Each structure stands twice: as C-alpha cells, then as structure tokens.
Amino acid sequence: MANVLDPYFLTEVVQNIRTDINSFRGAQLLTNGVDFKPELGLTIEYDITYDDTGMTPPTGLNDPSPIHTPPVVKHMNFTNQEWREKVVIDREKIATLRKPGNSLEQKWGEEYMIEKMVGLNLRLETRFEWMRWQSLTGKLIVPATSTKPARTIDYGVPANNKPTASVLWSNTETADPLADLDGWSLRFRGSGARPVKIIVNKKVDIYLKQNAKIRELIKYTFGKDVVTDGSLAEIVSQNLNGLKYEVYDGGYIDDSGVFYPFIPDNAVIIIGHGMTGSIMDLVTGPNNYEDIFTGHTGKFALTKLIQGDPDQWQAINGATVLPRLKYVNWHIFATVA
C-alpha cells in the first residue's frame, strides 16, 4: 500500500490526471493540448511579435547578407502566480488511513485520498481554463490574496482585434452576424494566422438561431423553418470560407451560486491558426514544497500536520501558473450583445 500522506504519492496522483479537453476546451483550442511550459524562475519574460514583414531580398554574389530583425511589438515581463488550496482530514479519517487493517481498508484509504485530490485538481483545472479564456480579452486580473492586492496583466491585444458589432446580435430582427464575422475575418490579414473556428457560448448561440437573416438563409438553403445545430454550422461554413462553429458553455459557479461562463454572454471569439505553434502557453514556475533547492514545476500536492486538540492533517494542491499570450493578433474577441 502506498503511503497515502506522502507528498510524492499525492503529487503523482494530480500530475497523472490528464486535462479533459472535452470539458476544458481551451486546453485543446488555445494551448494545443500541452499542459505546461516550464520556466526556471518566477518571472515570465518574452517579446510579443507580429508576423514578419516583407520577404528575403535579392543579393549580389559578393554582397554581404542583409540582417533581418523581426518586428518587436511589446516586451512582456510579469511575475508568475501561485494558486493553491487545501482540504482537512479529521481524526476519524486519520485513524482509518493509518490502521494496519486488511487489504480492503488499505484500498479504501488510497481511494479516499485520491478522491480528495481529484476534487482539488478539478478546481485547479477550472482556474487554468478561466485564465486561458480571460487572457484573450487582453487583460487578466489576478484576484487579491490575503497579503497582496489584485493586479492586472495587460497582454497588449490590439483594439483592432476587439471590435463591436454595429448592430448587436441581441437585436435578432436587424443584426447581420454573418456579415460581421466575414468582415472581422479580414483582420487576420498580415497576422501570420488564418481564421479557423468561431466559438460562442449558449447564450450567443441562441441569438444566432433566432436571427432573422440566418433563419431566412437556412429556409432558402435547406427548405426548413427549424434551425438545428447542424444547419447553423453548415450555413456558417458555407458562407464564411469553411470556418468551423462551436458552442462552448463551460464556466464556473461562484460562492453565491451565480454561474459565470468562460466565454462571456456578450462575446464571440474567432480563433486563428498559424504555422509557429499555439496562440498561448500556460507557463509554470518552480515551487519549493518538495525540494527547497531545485523547486518543482507543474501541479504539486503535499500534506501538513496541524497539531492541536485534536490533531488534523491538511492535504494541499496547487501550481504556479499564468498564461503567456504569444500572438496577440491571432484571435478576434468581439462584443456582440
């Protein structure tokens, strides 16, 4: 039986939980299924660049080669952020976990601790997903901690990539979503990426299905008065050069019971695809919970004894992570309602 209070055992548990790309779509669409990119320290530093301009110039056989310098748009430098929380295991649970017992009791002890870590990991993965989509707005607000105020990371997304529909899509009688999307796709010119997918949440999806122009187009094309998921996606693809359409209604519930979608109820996102990797990375920095000298990157877990009346154990799960938005003009974040 594993030592279920050993931090190495618990860390192995959370690190072996693969991100569910069906539940957390940003893990596939924005970071290409890669969990983390490690950094040696807590500072995230990089240059934001646009796509290269021009082409390789002609030269004479004896001419010196011209020097090419890629255009730097903005230099980014900010400190990574730790996210962690814990659950408390009471005396009664400790007694069961530590009892020599039979194999069934030993197996229960492992399953109990794994269940606790899976629950904490799900909350941590939700935070990762939140920050993926939040960074596309151009700014990510790290909430205040018990010792530090809130801080804002400005990723420098150009205003050109944050348009607003001339007629909001909530006006389903007169709005023209397909024309808006077609025009916004032109903003990818010169970015080094091409638009490949439109992503909305369920609220905006309903606006599109109720839109008079789209309903008329579907009736003319398919001879049907009912707008289905399939017919809407097909109309989008046919009229917008093969752009794919996806509804993603993931989100989280706050402590007061209010649901907050990762993609706002008033927004549509167009994701671009380039030849030089994903639009962003989740960058992880080292923490010293397991090794004070070299640190540990990625997700971590550990236990801590609380001595008192009675003694208790804490199980802690966390990671030091923030997004690195590498290509600020590879997406459109449009306000449509």
pLDDT tens digits, one per residue of 107-154: 677 788 888 999 999 999 999 999 999 999 999 999 999 999 999 999
Confidence (pLDDT) at 100: 57
* Residue 322 and residue 36 in contact, taking contact as beta carbons nearer than 8 Å: no
Question: What is the average pLDDT across 259-279?
Answer: 94
Residue 272 has pLDDT above 80, yes or no: yes
Cα-based distances in Å from 184 to 160, 165, 172, 210, 315: 9, 10, 19, 21, 48
Q: How far apart are the first and last CA of the chain?
A: 56
Residue 53 has pLDDT above 70, yes or no: yes
Partnered with residue 145 across adjacent β-strands are none
Distance CA 325, CA 76 (A): 10
* Dihedral angle of Cα 118, 119, 125, 127, to the nearest 10 degrees: -160
Confidence (pLDDT) at 103: 61
**Tens digit of each residue's pLDDT (9 = 90 or more) over 172-205:** 999 999 999 999 999 999 898 999 999 999 999 9
3-state secondary structure of 77: strand
Distance CA 132, CA 323 (A): 6
Q: State phi, psi for 90 to the nearest 5 degrees.
A: -85, 175
- Indicate the fold that domain 7-52+73-335 takes in CATH: phage-related protein like fold (3.90.1690)
What global pTM score does this model have?
Answer: 0.90
Confidence (pLDDT) at 277: 83
Cα-based distances in Å from 80 to 43, 74, 285, 321: 6, 18, 7, 6
* Residue 181 and residue 192 in contact, taking contact as beta carbons nearer than 8 Å: no
Question: What is the average pLDDT across 326-333?
Answer: 96
